[in-house]
Chains A and B, each alone.
Chain A
Amino acid sequence: MHLTLDEQIRENNVDNKLLEVKGLTVAFKKDKVVDDISFDIFAGETFALVGESGSGKSITALSVLRLLPNNAKVSANQILLNNESLLSIPEYDFCKIRGKRIGLIFQDPMSSLNPVMTIGEQIAEVMKIHFDYSKEELTPAVHKLLEQVEIPEPQRRINEFPHQLSGGQRQRIMIAIALAGKPELLIADEPTTALDVTIQAQILELLKTIQKKTGMSLWLISHDLALVSTMADRIAVMQKGKVVEIGSTNHFFKQAKHPYSLKLLAALPSMDSCTNKELKKIDNNETPLLKVESFKVYYPIRKGFFKRIVDHVRAVDDVSFELKQGSTLALVGESGCGKTTLGKGLVNLIPTTAGRVLLNGIELNQLNGDELRQKRSVIQIVFQDPFASMNPRMLVGDIIAEGIKALHSDINLVDRQQRVANLLKQVELPESSALRYPHEFSGGQRQRICIARALAVEPKLIVCDEPTSALDVSVQAQIIELLQKLQKEQGVSYLFITHNLAVVAEIADEVAVMHKGKIVEHGHVEQVLTQPQHPYTQSLLDAVPVLAD
């Protein structure tokens, strides 16, 4: 008889259930955010709970540890940890579960660490609560743990504060804190979402090694199916508070049944999409729409008694590139590489230090005051956070019409309303949206409104600053489709700023890779993504989690 892997695991581990959850329900007021879910986690396995934002996956983990705020109503038929009922443990004894038997890692390591305690203190604290270490033993134990999570120079770091470390190192500290109690189960709640791709890969690698070494179970909570595929033994998919599908990873990726799982799988942007891309007909002799020459944005570092400028932070350092009419250039890089600064500099939202920007024959950054204002319609920008990019106190119609009003004051009210209606149609929103407020829309819809706002002044070039990274995967795909459609219809060009290489493969014609303020590689999308020349591009590509076959 041939058993699937899932069944094999189940066969071998019948008595080996580490965590057993049955009928867990969490409600805030009347809203059930987790609705009657059941699942098991076996000893030594990696179990992944996958779902989009708001599906209730983090709440599930927090409710097991009783870490939810008081207004949450948690009920469950059964929660067993190693056959011991967690539900019957009184609150004053529950401290012996948290941190000791179940460890927890959060998404944002910066805010999750106490800013005014040294790293050593924060790790030692766990050991002091749960074990009887003497004072002399404590420091070496912390030291050892820091080594285990591969923190360089542990003897120095032990006395440092969280803000003195990098994001990746902070997450390693979080892991060390979670490991300090020697837990049987480690819950990792989106452990890499706040980190850059290359760091993300390192942290995942670390989690894997530690799990192998200690034999504990890992409960991974993530929205990223690709990442999960490289890590998990079993996957559970959550949607609107319910577990809709649960099974072994292999099984899931080959034979997922539930429509929602299928939708998630289909929405996964794939790196392969660049290979069979039809080449756009672009006349190479045509003058480029955008021509950037040795563009620089420096921030002064002031020091000393008179605050003299001693040096500069080179946010964008001598960047040159061209962008052709109707095409898309993707600007790729990790956080802090200067890609957003470059984008805002091009739109003239921040002062530039040096360089020539020739846009549709105009040098925008040489203009000032009213002249600049009048010419602004050529280049527009769409921001990352759809919640912060619209004035909450304005009607959507007024938001879209704002640019028309400012730049074409000759257009009368009726025509303006007609144009707003057309724009809404173009971004596939109902006309009635004009009379509603931004907070009534979802993230994806808001991003559509932002695109409509940018389109309203008929720009030649739109700078898209991570327009999809705050959105769920399925919505991401829709926005990209919309952008592509608009490009085809109106011939608008995009400068697409992103850290997500899969999205690049999807949308870009050309790619420029940015690293420490400079463009290190620039070329056609297929060429850059399949045959990277620069080592940095290579490391970026290597770090992308690819669906395990």
Chain B
Amino acid sequence: MIILWTDTLIYLLVIAISLAIFFIGKQPQMRRPIKKIGASKTGMISLVVLIFFVIIGLLDSVHFKSTESRTHEIISLLDYWAKPLREQGEKTYSAPFSTQLYSKETMTADDGTTQWGYPRLKFGGAHLQNPEAEWKMDVFTKALIGFGKGAGLFALLFIFFWITLHKNHEHFFANPTSKAVWFVLFTLISKTYMLIDLSMYYHVFGTDKVGEDVFYQAIKSIRTGLVIGSLTTMIMLPLAIVFGIMAGFFRGWVDDVIQYIYTTLNSIPSVLLIAASILMVQVYMSNHAEDFNSLIVRSDMRLLFLCLILGVTSWTGLCRMLRAETLKLREMEYVQAAQALGVRRGAILIRHILPNVMHIVLISVVLDFSGLVLAEAVLSYINIGVDPTTYSWGNMINGARLEMARDPVVWWSLLASFIFMFSLVLAANLFADTVRNAFDPRRAD
């Protein structure tokens, strides 16, 4: 097993989040907002979708050296399972579910005659004898079979949970929210299975310029999106919390210095700061090529660095909010009472200030997530995002954009990245709304 830098951080993040959930769950005053989230239909549905994405992302974060290929390239668990998708490429563009290439070329038949036309794909629909006649029926039956398998899997799962959770029937099965959650789970599982089944025989989202399966690209991009959304937050949180609270609590010169730092950082247009830093990293890496021998290590470093830069440019907003809130809190009577009781300043910070700003932190974390996923696409577009060899929706869009001028249009890369990115961002946005409604004290009932 090989652990990349981002993998380490992802594992750390998973541990941190589990601990956070554990501790938050233990605190009674947190129960009301958590219950509120649990009761919200959109909140729970979006959470299920998010978790689905996270699972894929986590599968893609377990890396090891492939023993099969000669090159010993580094692959992930997801790559391992998606082997057909990864390896069975075509020559160039092909449309979704197509059995032929997208462009005409000279074909040499068995008898030696040449012909100008659309050649059959090496992989997509190769099992069909007569594509024109069988194609429709075959896609339909394959889809149905996949759907059936997925539904069967879901049924097994459902029965398992039905038996284990039966005591809390009302809680897990009977109310409208849980019904909706089960329904979403059903669609997710069966549709995924359907896609997996179909992708064994076809390129469900077509292939790109070099013949790589677009469905595979889109799935691989999930990890990139999640990493950017979550690692950036992890980098920016400590900065924002420490600086924000210190500035608000100690005021005076501490406040002046911190304000100076964040105004300075804020005043630099963030795109330019990112661009400058990425340029520097690029030059650094090309000058120290020996440290970054493997392509995947190289692109991983760049991804990590992008998160770092994004984190550095995005902590100022939360910092300002926390500073303002701390300024308010330090004048609260309970803080003054603690002061009068002779409680040390450090203890006041940790016991009285920090727990009372955590809801702001939580809300801003979930709100920032979707923005960062969207930002990745834009940054990749201007070549200051992730490495061009990294799978990301931004790179997919960037590659496909140039083909918009073609006639007929090559649209499937765009469609695939749109569907995946949109569903992740929408789920994140909806979940963020639920969290904000639940934790914002002004919206409490």
Contact = CB atoms under 8 A, between A and B. Distances in A.
A380 interface: yes
B442 interface: no
Interface in A82-132: none
B337 interface: yes
A344 interface: yes
B355 interface: yes
Interface string A253-295: 0000000000000000000000000000000000000000000
A161 interface: no
Interface residues of B, number: 20
B112 interface: no
Contacts of A344: 336
Nearest to A370: B344
Contacts of B351: 391, 394, 402
Given A392-B29, A393-B27, A393-B29, A407 B341 contact: yes
Nearest to A71: B445
A165 interface: no
Q: How many A residues are at the interface, by size bracket?
A: 20 to 34
B356 A381 contact: no
Contact of B340 (A381, A384, A437): A381
Contact of B356 (A385, A392, A457): A392
Contacts of B338: 391, 402
A86 B169 CA distance: 49
B357 to A, nearest CB: 11
Given A391-B352, A391-B356, A402 B333 contact: no
B343 interface: yes
A376 B334 CA distance: 16
Interface in B319-362: 332-334, 336-344, 347, 351-352, 355-356
A438 B29 CA distance: 10
B356 A393 contact: yes
Given A393-B355, A393-B356, A437-B28, A373 B344 contact: yes
Contact of B347 (A347, A379, A406, A450): A406
Contacts of A377: 341-342
A456 B340 CA distance: 12
Contacts of A494: none
A379 B342 CA distance: 11
B345 to A, nearest CB: 9
Given A389-B333, A393-B356, A406-B347, A457 B29 contact: no
A381 B336 contact: yes
Contacts of A457: 341-342
A389 B343 contact: no
B305 to A, nearest CB: 37
A450 B337 contact: yes
Point out which of B339, B342, B347, B355 has the most chain A C-beta atoms below 10 A from its C-beta.
B342
A70 to B, nearest CB: 14
B341 to A, nearest CB: 3
A403 interface: yes
Name, among B341, B347, B356, the residue most crowded by chain A CB atoms within 10 Å (CB to CB): B341
A126 B28 CA distance: 50
A496 interface: no
A468 B344 CA distance: 29
A391 B334 contact: yes
B174 to A, nearest CB: 21
A123 B105 CA distance: 82
Interface string A333-375: 0000000000010011100000000000000000000000110
B342 A373 contact: yes
B356 A349 contact: no
Contact of A403 (B28, B332, B341): B341
Nearest to B30: A393
A383 interface: yes
A407 B339 CA distance: 11
B190 to A, nearest CB: 39
A451 B336 CA distance: 14
A438 to B, nearest CB: 9
A388 B334 contact: yes
Contacts of A143: none
Contacts of A374: 342
Contacts of B342: 373-374, 376-377, 403, 406-407, 457
30 contacts: A349-B340, A374-B342, A376-B340, A376-B341, A376-B342, A377-B341, A377-B342, A379-B340, A381-B337, A383-B333, A383-B336, A384-B333, A388-B332, A388-B334, A389-B332, A389-B333, A389-B337, A391-B334, A391-B352, A393-B355, A393-B356, A394-B351, A402-B343, A403-B343, A406-B342, A406-B343, A406-B347, A437-B29, A454-B337, A456-B341
Given A388-B333, A457-B342, 4 more contacts: A391-B334, A393-B356, A402-B351, A437-B29
